[in-house]
Structure formats: structure tokens, C-alpha cells
Amino acid sequence: MLLGADWLGVLTEPLSYQFMVKAIAVGAAAALVCSVLSCYLALRGWALMGDALAHSVLPGVVVAFILGLPFALGAVVAAAIAVVGIGAVRAGTRLKEDASIGVVFTAMFALGLLLKSKLPAGVDFQSILLGNLLGISDGDALQCFAIAAAVLLVVALTWRDLVAVSFDPAHARAIGLPVGMLTGLLLGLTAAATVAGLQAVGAALVVAMLITPGATACLLTDRFGRMVWIAAAVGVGSAVVGAYASYFVRGATTGGCIITLQAAVFVAALIVAPRHGLIAARRASLRLRADPRAAALAAEGVGT
């Protein structure tokens, strides 16, 4: 019994520190908003938009540092410039979407690095890149909560239209939705989520939060409503457990723990997912092999 009580003490120890509780709360908020958006991005085929935006905010952050403004402001402005730039390149050239994204974000990231290399002391680059969840200030935490709440509110109000635009823009246009505006809105929300996530887990890892939960949910369900809930559960669960666990892992970054956990959940879903997992696929192919008639039908595309 004594041993049991001791274990309990060790396990609850992190929660007795205020900075741990704050870290877990901020991580959960950032993960929630990123996970919800990741479903839309996975549908739209924009998984790497988060990657592009996370890199593009750098010049904004450095300029904000030079002028003594809040980082989030500079980040939002830079993200907006990147979104407009990507849109302009895509509309004005014959480049594919991925190349348009790539050209713009590498240039902006390079500009940020150049500006940063000219700074005397410089921003604490490590914490922009990797986040500093355990040492986050009250102001930053508040900012993160505010951004998360605003994004979730907008998504809640427009989620049906956003689904239509993400899933099938042509159909959305046909039924009279303002496709251009809604696409812009989705990008703007992604930019806001990126900024929120930046402070929690860092630029490098906010990317993962905008991809993996949606991808995991996509393997587990066919319905969008359910997909959002699953993604949110995966994202928030990983953030809470990862932040908590990082207390026990010597020297590990909190962000790294959160992302590794998310990836582990994805791998588990990949293997055991009821309809789209590897085991299910294997069993389906064995069934086909056992039944030549079904295999012939499947080969003709009947009943699939």
C-alpha cells in the first residue's frame, strides 16, 4: 500500500507545479484548434500549408522584435503576406500549388533568417523554433487562448460552408457559395492557428499538429462530423499526455514529446483502423483470394 501511495505521489507531482498545469492547458488549447483545422486541410489537400505558414512568419517575428511589438502581431502580418503571395503566384502562373507554396515560403523564411543574422543579440530563436511551453508567460498563454477561442468560434459558425469548399470547390461554387472568400477565410484561420501553436510547440512542430490529427481521423471514420471529434481527441489527448510526460523525460522538449505521441497514435490507427487500417486491408484481400467470384467482381470494379 505504501508503495502504491508513493507511486501516486510521483505521478501527481507534475500537477503540483503551476507551470506544468499552465503548459498542459495551453498545449491543449493550441492542439484543439490545430486539430479541428487539420481535418479541413487534409480534405482540401493543403496539409503543407501549415508548414509554409510556420516558416513564413519568421520575418514578421524578427521585425516585431526590432520594433518592440508583440510577436503574435508580426507573425499574423507575415502569415497574411504569405497567404496573399501564394495566392498571387498560383493565380498568376502555371505552377502547381506545391511549387507556388514552396517558392513563397522559402523566400520569406530566408528573409527572416537574413534579418535575424543582422540583429546584434537576436531573438531567442530556439524558443520560436521549438516553443517553450514550460516557460510560457501569462501574456502569451492568454494570447493563445484568445486566438484559439476566436478561431473555434468562426469555425463553429461557418463549418458547413467550409466543408463544402474544402471537399469540392466546384460543387460549392455551383450551389452559390462565395468560394474565394471562404477559401481565404480557411487560410486566415490556418494562419491564426499557426500563430497560436507557434507559442505552444514552436514553428517546427505546429506543422505536425496541423497534419497528424486530421490524417489519423481520416483513417478512422468516413463522416466529417465524427472526423473532427476524433481529430480533436487525438490532438488534445497527445498534447495533455505529452506535456505531462515531458516532465519525466530528461532534457526532452515538450513539443517533441507531444508530436512523437501524436505520431504513435497515428501508427496505431494505421494498423488497427476498422475499415481503412492495414489489418482490415489484409483481411479484405485474403477474403477476395478465398472467393474467386468476389475477386473477379472486384477486378471489374463491381461492388467496391
Partner 1 sequence: MSGVFEVLTQDFMVTALLTASLVGVACAVLSCFVVLKGWSLMGDAVSHAILPGVAVAAMVGVPLSLGAFVSGVACVGLSGWLRNSTRLKPDTAMGVVFTGLFGLGLVLVAATPSDVHLKHILYGNLLGIERAELVQAVAACVGSLVVLALLGRDVRLVCFDPAHARVIGLPAGLLQFVLLAVLSATVVASIQAVGLILVVAMLITPGAIGVMMADRFGPMLAWAAGSTLAASVAGTFVSYWVDGATGPCIVLALAAPFAATT
How near is the Cβ of 4 to partner 1 at its closest, in Å? Answer: 29
- Residue whose CB is less far from partner 1, 164 or 270: 270
Best CA proximity match to 206, nearest among 84, 29, 19: 29
- Stretch in the footprint of partner 1 (CB under 8 A) among 9-17, 227-235, 262-270, 289-297: 262-270
211 binds partner 1 (CB under 8 A): yes
CA distances to 278, 287, 301 from 284, rounded to whole Å, are: 10, 5, 15
Binding flag, residue 60, partner 1 (CB under 8 A): no
The answer to the question of residue 106 lying near partner 1 (CB under 8 A) is yes
CA distance 167 to 186: 12
The residue (of 14 and 255) whose beta carbon lies closer to partner 1 is 255
Q: What's the CA gap between 297 and 74, in Å, rounded? A: 58
Q: What's the min distance (Å) between Cβ of 229 and partner 1? A: 19
**With 0-12 CB in 10 A as exposed, 13-18 as middle and 19+ as buried, what is 131?**
buried
The footprint of partner 1 on residues 154-193 (CB under 8 A) is: none
List 7, 9, 118, 296, residue binding partner 1 (CB under 8 A): 118
Of 249, 268, 271, 284, the residue at the interface with partner 1 (CB under 8 A) is 249
Q: CA-CA distance, 23 to 246, in Å (whole number)?
A: 11
Interface residue with partner 1 among 128, 196, 207, 232 (CB under 8 A) is 207
Which residue reads 510577436 in cell numbers?
71
Segment near partner 1 (CB under 8 A); pick from 10-18, 21-29, 96-104, 154-162 = 96-104
Choices 66-74, 163-171, 172-180, 263-271 (CB under 8 A): range interacting with partner 1: 263-271
- Out of 218, 232, 236, 239, the only residue in the binding site for partner 1 (CB under 8 A) is 218
Mark the segment that binds partner 1 (CB under 8 A) among 8-16, 44-52, 140-148, 160-168.
44-52
Rank residues 65 and 143 by Cβ distance to partner 1 and give the closer one: 65
Q: Select from 8-16, 137-145, 207-215, 227-235 the region that touches partner 1 (CB under 8 A).
A: 207-215
Q: 15 or 95: whose CB is closer to partner 1?
A: 95
Binding region for partner 1 (CB under 8 A): 42, 45-48, 51, 88-89, 92-96, 98-99, 101-103, 106-107, 109-114, 116-118, 125, 130, 204-205, 207-208, 211-212, 214-215, 218-219, 249-253, 255-260, 262-263, 266, 270, 276, 278, 281
